[in-house]
Structures are given as structure tokens and as C-alpha cells.
């Protein structure tokens, strides 16, 4: 049986209250993920079912207010269950815009079994953006109109905004090798806003999510 693309739910995951320096809003992750998700829906006919309003973060990384993994899973479950009841979705793709949500992927198999729908976790935005609140996110933000270029000098003040590139999060840098790597990259190459780069990164993310939908279609044909 072939998959009805209109029955694929596209859900955005992002942190709504995470500090992103001076030039980006607190809900940057949610806005970027929602942009990608809604654009995929427009191009494919899949159904954009919104964004969840909670997010998890790794212990020791203080960038704002986050929730427990169980809370995030609970909201995710409710969103997918409602979409299945109201819209009859038969599959889902999660567009993740917040790095701290990555542990969700390991918990999705039980949710798939409970809801009887395949769920794909797309983490491409995180892979593309690079260090937190740095050039990648600044540029993607510029592409969708949420970056305030007038505040870039303040944004690069790591004393006032230690979360940018995680440069000023000393304990997190000691705790996680990947945090230290991001911080060193920002210290080495600095920050810039490149709208063209942002557009290209977003387009790559959109295409990758569309490919996930095509994968779901292929799997349905094999059933």
C-alpha cells in the first residue's frame, strides 16, 4: 500500500526559552525548525502539525529554562496522538532544531509501537548550524528575518553572553568534549552573519526532510 503524503505529520522540535545571545531571540530553535517543517509541508502536501513547547537539555549546560526528558516525551506523545485522532496521520517526521533534544531519538521506538506509526527524527538543522548561536544560526536567522544585525558586537561579548558558542560556559566546556570543540571554533574563527549561507543551510535541511518523506513512501510500498 502506498503512503498518502497528506497523512504524514511534520512536527517541529525546538527550545522556546533558550538564550541565543543579543542578536537572536529566545525561541530561535523553534522558529528555525518551524520554518523548515512548514516549508516541507508546503512543498510536499504533508501536514504541518505545529511545534512542541518544551525541550530537554544536557546536564550542566545552562542556557535557559528546559524541561525533563519525560516532560518532552509526554508533550510529543500528546501532539502526535492528537494529530492521529484529528487528522488521521499515519507517519511522522520530527524536525529538530535544538541540540539538547537528541536523546529523544533513543526513546522513539516505544512511541512508535504505542501509536502504531513510523516516526523519523531529523537532526539535520543541528548538524548544519555548527556552534550554538554562532555563524550558522545567525545566518539562518537572517534568512528568515529574526537576526538583529545591529547587535552583532554585543552578541560577540562572551562575558555578557557566555552561551554564544558555549565560550563562557566553563564547566560545560570541561564536562563535554563537543562543547569545548564548539567553543574553540568560535574563539578561532569568530562570528559573522551571511544571509546567503543561511538560505543555503535551510534549503539543505528542507531537502533532507523531504527525503525522509520519500523514505517513508518507499517503506510503505514494501509493506
Q: What is the pLDDT of residues 18-33, one digit of tens each?
A: 999 999 999 999 999 9
pTM of the model: 0.94
Residue 218: pLDDT band (50, 70, 90) is confident
Residue 108, helix vs strand vs coil: helix
Homologous superfamily in CATH for domain 5-215:
Creatininase (3.40.50.10310)
Residue 89, helix vs strand vs coil: coil
- What pLDDT, on the 0 to 100 scale, is given for residue 219? 66
Mean of the per-residue pLDDT values of the chain: 95
Nearest residue to 31 (alpha-carbon basis) of 149, 198, 207, 214: 198
Q: What is the rounded CA–CA span in Å between residue 126 and residue 98?
A: 7
Q: Would you kindly state where each structural domain of the chain is located, as residue ranges?
A: 5-215
Q: Are 161 and 64 in contact (CB under 8 A)?
A: no
Torsion of CA 29, 54, 68, 83, to 10 degrees: -120
Over range 29-40, report the average pLDDT.
Answer: 98
| Per-residue pLDDT reduced to its tens digit, 148-207 | 999 999 999 999 999 999 999 999 999 999 999 999 999 999 999 999 999 999 999 999
Nearest residue to 20 (alpha-carbon basis) of 125, 173, 135, 128: 135
Say how far residue 128 (Cα) sits from the centre of its chain: 10
- What pLDDT, on the 0 to 100 scale, is given for residue 220? 60
Q: For 18-27, 138-147, 199-208, 211-220, which range has the lowest pLDDT when averaged over its residues?
A: 211-220
Express as a percent the part of the chain with pLDDT over 90: 93
Nearest residue to 201 (alpha-carbon basis) of 97, 99, 124, 100: 124
Residue 222: pLDDT band (50, 70, 90) is low
Q: Determine the number of helices (DSSP H) and then strands (DSSP E) in the chain.
A: 9, 4
- What pLDDT, on the 0 to 100 scale, is given for residue 3? 73
Say how far residue 158 (Cα) sits from the centre of its chain: 23
Q: Which residues contact 86 (CB under 8 A, 6 or more apart)?
A: none
List the beta bridge partners of residue 96: 13
Torsion of CA 86, 92, 95, 101, to 10 degrees: 100
In the predicted structure, residue 92 carries a pLDDT above the cut 70: yes
Amino acid at each position: 500500500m502506498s503512503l498518502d503524503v497528506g497523512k504524514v505529520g511534520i512536527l517541529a522540535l525546538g527550545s522556546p526559552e533558550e538564550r541565543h545571545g543579543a542578536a537572536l531571540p529566545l525561541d530561535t530553535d523553534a522558529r528555525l525548525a518551524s520554518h523548515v517543517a512548514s516549508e516541507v509541508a508546503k512543498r510536499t502536501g504533508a501536514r504541518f502539525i505545529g511545534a512542541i513547547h518544551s525541550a530537554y537539555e544536557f546536564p550542566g549546560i545552562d542556557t535557559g529554562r528546559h524541561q525533563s526528558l519525560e516532560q518532552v516525551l509526554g508533550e510529543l506523545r500528546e501532539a502526535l496522538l492528537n494529530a492521529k485522532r484529528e487528522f488521521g496521520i499515519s507517519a511522522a517526521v520530527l524536525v529538530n532544531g535544538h541540540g539538547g533534544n537528541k536523546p529523544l531519538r533513543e526513546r522513539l521506538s516505544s512511541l512508535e509501537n504505542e501509536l502504531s506509526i513510523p516516526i523519523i527524527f531529523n537532526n539535520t538543522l543541528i548538524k548544519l548550524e555548527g556552534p550554538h548561536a554562532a555563524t550558522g544560526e545567525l545566518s539562518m536567522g537572517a534568512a528568515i528575518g529574526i537576526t538583529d544585525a545591529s547587535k552583532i558586537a554585543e552578541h560577540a561579548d562572551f562575558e555578557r553572553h557566555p552561551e554564544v558558542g558555549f565560550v563562557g560556559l566553563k564547566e560545560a566546556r570541561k564536562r563535554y568534549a563537543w562543547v569545548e570543540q564548539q567553543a574553540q571554533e568560535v574563539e578561532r574563527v569568530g562570528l559573522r552573519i551571511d544571509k546567503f549561507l543561511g538560505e543555503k543551510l535551510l534549503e539543505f535541511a528542507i531537502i533532507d526532510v523531504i527525503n525522509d518523506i520519500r523514505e517513508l513512501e518507499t517503506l510503505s510500498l514494501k509493506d
